[in-house]
């Protein structure tokens, strides 16, 4: 599949999860490449039925890996793409939408939503949006019981993800 044109910029993506809906506003001005990747993966159905594979209370909830291992997933640009770190954006509180990675310039499909301020991630993970509605759902995800590897005991999934204007 091809990469969508630069003119395609849906304002939000809705994550219909097994615990309720979360709408995220995308920061196209600050991270257009990252937003395009996320919105297009959602449009293609890539995130449908994907688990939240890592949840750490008072830190973050991570998803976007179709293998649910924390090691899978690819971007629309190939396996990975470069970081879009913007010094004006900070992991200043709960509800920040940010790319998960395994080091510099290793963004793929995985992302996380913060559950609290996580300032130590500033400059290391590309922020590309925020939760605009459904924060109560994010808080519930953040409180699920997990095993000693931070994997939810009972599956929490994105049932469907789709961009909206």
Q: Is 125 a catalytic residue?
A: yes
Q: Which of 19, 112, 115, 157 is catalytic?
A: 112
Q: Which of 48, 59, 86, 151 is catalytic?
A: 59
Q: Which residues contact 29 (CB under 8 A, 6 or more apart)?
A: none
Coil, strand or helix: which one is 20? strand
Bin 134: left if φ > 0, else alpha if -120 < ψ < 50, else beta. Answer: left
Q: Which two tokens stand for residue 136?
A: 């109560």
Q: Is 53 a catalytic residue?
A: no
Q: Which of 9, 86, 101, 162 is catalytic?
A: 101
Q: Is 101 a catalytic residue?
A: yes
Q: Which of 9, 48, 86, 121 is catalytic?
A: 121
Q: Is 121 a catalytic residue?
A: yes
Q: Which of 15, 41, 62, 130 is catalytic?
A: 62
Q: Is 59 a catalytic residue?
A: yes
Distance CA 133, CA 161 (A): 14
Q: Which of 125, 128, 130, 157 is catalytic?
A: 125
Distance CA 97, CA 27 (A): 10
Q: Which residues are catalytic?
A: 54, 59, 62, 101, 112, 121, 125
């Amino acid at each position: 599949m091809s990469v969508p044109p630069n003119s395609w910029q849906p304002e939000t993506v809705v994550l219909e999860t097994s615990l309720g809906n979360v709408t995220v506003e995308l920061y196209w001005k600050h991270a257009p490449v990252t937003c395009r990747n996320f919105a297009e993966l959602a449009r293609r159905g890539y995130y449908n039925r994907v688990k939240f594979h890592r949840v750490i209370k008072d830190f973050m909830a991570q998803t976007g890996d179709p293998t649910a291992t924390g090691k899978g997933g690819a971007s629309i640009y190939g396996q990975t793409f470069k970081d879009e770190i913007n010094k004006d954006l900070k992991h200043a509180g709960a509800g920040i939408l940010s790319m998960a990675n395994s080091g510099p310039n290793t963004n793929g499909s995985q992302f996380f939503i913060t559950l609290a301020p996580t300032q130590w991630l500033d400059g290391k993970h590309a922020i590309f949006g925020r939760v605009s509605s459904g924060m109560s759902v994010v808080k519930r995800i953040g409180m699920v019981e997990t095993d000693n590897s931070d994997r939810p005991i009972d599956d929490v999934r994105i049932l469907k993800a789709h961009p909206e204007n």
